[in-house]
Structure formats: C-alpha cells, structure tokens
Amino acid sequence: MAKLHLSRIGLLQSFCLLAYVAASPTSATRAEDLRPPERPNVLFIAVDDLRPELGCYGEGYVKSPNVDRLAGNGVTFTRAYCQQAVCNPSRASLMTGLRPDTIKVWDLRTDFRTTRPNAVTVAQHFKRNGYHTTGIGKIFHNIIPDPLSWSEPKLHIDGYPFDPDAVYRKQENVEFIAQRQAEIIKEGQQARYIDRLGEWYLKTVATENVDVPDNAYFDGAQTDKAIDKLKELKERRQPFFFAVGYYRPHLPFNVPTKYWEMYDRDEIPLPANAHLPKNAPPMAINTIRELRGYLDFRESPTPHQGQLTEAQTRLLRHGYFASVSYIDAQVGRLLDELERLALRDNTIVILWGDHGWKLGEHGSWCKMTNYEIDTRVPLIVSAPAAKEVGKHCDRLVEFVDIYPALCELAGIAVPKHLEGTSFVPLLNDCSRPWKTAAFSQFLREGKWVAPDGKEYMGYSVRTERYRYVEWMNWTTKEYVARELYDHQTDPQEDVNIADLPEKRETVADLSKKLHAGWQAAVPK
C-alpha cells in the first residue's frame, strides 16, 4: 500500500508539472527558467605597483588603451584605498578580507598563515563554493603562494627565477648577474640567495629596454600561459576564478623597446611637488631603500638628504610609464581571448594595483607611506549585471571590500567575519551615499627610519575632505606625532596643518573617527 500511495503521488506531481508547462506561453523558455542560473566566472587581474595614473583616470599622456577599454565596460573607482602601501600586507589584507591589524601582517616577511592559519581567502572561498580556482604570477607576495587557495598548483613557467620581476635580457646585465651568481656559489652561500628578492647585487640596474618580443620578459610569457589556461578553463564547463598577477610596473623597469618608444622622455611631466611635505614628522617619509637596491641608484640621497637629478627623474618616470603600457598590452590580450572564447558576457573582470607609487612626489620614490600618492589605488570592476557601465565612481571604497563584493556578484554567501563592505550597490548607482572614511596604516621599521631608529605605526583615516594620521611608538604604544592634510586646499598633501590652533576641533573630530574604526564608517 505504501508503494502504491507513493506511486500515485508521483503520477499526480508529473501530471501537474506537465499541465503547468503546457499552459506556459513557450514550454522551452519555461523549462530554461527552471534551471539554476549559470554562475559568472571571475578574471582577477593584479598589477604590482600600479598607481591610478591611466587614461581612464584622466591622464592623457599615459598610453593605456586596453585598461581604458575595460573601464569603458565597467565602473572605475576613483577613490579606492589599500589598507597598507606595501606588497605583502596589502595583498594579504585584500585576499583575506581582513585588515592588517587583524591578520598581523605589517611587513614583507610574514605569512598570514602563521598569524591567522584558519583564514579563508577569497579564492579559497570560491573553491569551497564550486569554483575551479587557479592562478599565475604575483597574487599573494612572492614568497607566499598559499596552496590552500587553489584547486591546482599555481601555474609555473620554466626558465624564470624565483623572483621573475628582476629578469634582464641585455647582454651586459645578463653577464653581470651570471658573474655574481658564480661568486655567491664560490662563497658557499645558500643557493636561494641567487634569486632572493632584496639582494641588490642581483638586481643590477633599475631600467632596461631591449628589442625583444613581449614574452622575452615574464609578464608577456605568463600572458601566453594565461591565454592557454583560459581555453582549458572553458572546456572544464565549471565556473572559474582565474587570478593573473603582473609584475610590471614594479622595479626594475625592464620591458621591450617598443614600449619605451611610445613616450618622448622630454615631454613626460615632472612631479609638481618634488619636495618634502612641510611640517611632516620624519617617520612619515620613506627612505627609498627599494630604489637604492639597484646599482645605478645605490648612492641616491634619501628624501631627507636631497633629490635625484632631473635626468634620473625623467629616466625613471619614462621607464615606469613604458612598463604600464607593456602591462596594458598584456591585459588587452587577456580581454581579447575572453571575447574570442565567448566568455566575456559571463565573466566578472576586476583589475587592481596593490598600492600607489611615488615617482618623485614628496621628493621620494616607491611606496611605503600613508600619503594619498601611496594609499590611493586603481580599481576597475566590469560585471555582467552592473548598470553604471562606463561610469566613474568617486565614493570611498577599500581593498577589503573586494572579497564581499565578488561573493555578492557571484551569488555565493558572504562570510560574516569579513572587515569590508560589498560595493555592489555602487555598481548600480554611483551617486548613492557610501562610506564616510577609508583606513590605511604603515609600519615604519626601525632600521629604515630617520633619525632615531625606533619603530612607528602610522594609522590613517581618509574622509571626503581630509587625511589624518597618528603615529604610535610601536614598542611603547605611545602616540608621538600626527598629520592633517586638507584636500580642499592641499590635494597633494604638501603641508601638515595638524598643529595649527584653528584646526584643533578638526583634529579632535578626525581622531575620534580614526579610533572609532571602520565599523563606524560603513554606509547606513
């Protein structure tokens, strides 16, 4: 009797379903509607040391037609901020959706898995939700591949060293490196020092251009590999999260000659504020130790000592913009392949640079400060369902917002513990009220800071009008200095006005916002 009863229910259900479909205007369309929607893919493009100086950000002298094309099909965030302006902390924070103090990653050495072993990265979360996750190039920091994030080992390209950004093709540079490698081996040092990031004698010079194809350098070669991978990912018939991490425009500025020839060095604008910010505390300025890691800039003065020559400045700016155009071409190849494979319409494409970069501004170079020039970042999001296509969004957003936003766009659960806010509502309405502040920080390590050799942590809050920074002695936890910059009158942050009597109330209000933290700044 039980079997008969179940059989009758099954027949009744089948009859009702057939009647429902038959009564529909088009049975084929109705059956399609009953299937779950296809989940979008994610192409996750990271660019090392890329500041928001691109055509789509209003800089006409920078040649970036492919990134501009992506911006034309997406939303360009003009006021996006990283959580710490140096590679490892910025990337660890973005990938975990947690702020530097939460994951306790403030330097280039710490693996977030040692301080937050149970963290679930954005790629790992997508993997847990049915996505095939894979990556190539620099996504986390060089020394942290994080295998837990990927469905398969990160793609590797034979013939490239551990640190593929410092690859040289000019014969004299190749010979120098070979000689130095032989010396290291003869001295009995560990083999890992041959390719180790930070060994100045292996980086040689800060710029190089050789008439070679794009794939003679790592970023071009990895684009070849990424294009092949896209074909494979399409054939899997499974939604994918594919991360492609580019090394240029990180130093050294080594790219094919054709990208150098896109710029006239004499016409490249020089920095408008090639001087230290007035009244800034000494720990606020970086020491350009990264630039001094190259032989031809090893004797360069620190910002407190002086400036580079105009010829040196023009050379470096030329190399940087040539590197940007080289990466732009690689991004264009990825976008072309997405379209060729008919994947573009169902793929979220996000492009971000891990922090800003100084090209002589504030009399300084590289990253590693709390200033706007270092904390403000490029962020472009092209999502199939977005309404504000081709728009610029000037609302304050942060890198920790990327993780929850991608989850929402893909239709998967947003983890409750994340410390960011999904910016998906802005993709549909760029003008809506949003965050009241963005937060960044930077640890100035003792041996690199002038003049006292102590360690300081600087905490920064960026509001609509102001940037406010408090510097703490990292050992005693005592606050020892502060900075205030009024973007209404000083958009380049050239004069610290924190100690002006008439700014006392402003300082008190911003200090309160800083200590209230990110939770108090989220959109209501």
378: enclosing H helix or E strand: strand 376-382
Positive or negative CA dihedral for 399, 50, 75, 362?
positive
Residue 68, Cβ neighbours under 10 Å: how many?
18
Residues with Cβ within 8 Å of 131's Cβ and at least 6 positions away in sequence, in order, are: 39, 42, 151, 238, 239, 240, 241, 410
pLDDT score recorded for residue 38: 85
Task: Pick the closest to residue 350 from 299, 422, 251, 285 (CA basis).
Answer: 422
Instruction: Tell me the catalytic residues.
Output: 87, 141
Q: What angle do CA 427, 431, 432 make, to 5 degrees?
A: 85
Q: pTM higher than 0.75, yes or no?
A: yes
pLDDT digits (tens, 9 = 90+) for 469-510: 999 999 999 999 999 999 999 999 999 999 999 999 999 999
Question: Of the ranges 6-15, 167-176, 204-213, which one carries the lowest mean pLDDT score?
Answer: 6-15
| Rg of the chain on CA atoms, in Å | 25
pLDDT score recorded for residue 449: 61
Evaluate if residue 359 carries a pLDDT over 70.
yes
Average pLDDT over residues 328-350: 98
Question: Could you give the 3-state DSSP secondary structure of residue 399?
Answer: helix
**What is the set of domains in the chain, with CATH numbers?**
41-165+212-435 (3.40.720.10), 169-203 (no CATH)
- How many Å separate Cα 511 from the centre of its chain? 28
- How many Å separate Cα 311 from the centre of its chain? 30
Distance between CA atoms of residues 422 and 414, nearest Å: 9
Residues with Cβ within 8 Å of 268's Cβ and at least 6 positions away in sequence, in order, are: 61, 314, 317, 318, 321
Question: Could you give the 3-state DSSP secondary structure of residue 495?
Answer: strand
DSSP notation for 85-123: SSHHHHHHHHHHT--HHHHT--SSS--HHHHSTT---HH
pLDDT digits (tens, 9 = 90+) for 312-333: 999 999 999 999 999 999 999 9
Cis peptide before 451 (omega within 30 of 0): yes
Task: Pick the closest to residue 101 from 91, 115, 87, 114 (CA basis).
Answer: 115
Distance between CA atoms of residues 478 and 471, nearest Å: 8
CB 304 within 8 A of CB 285: yes
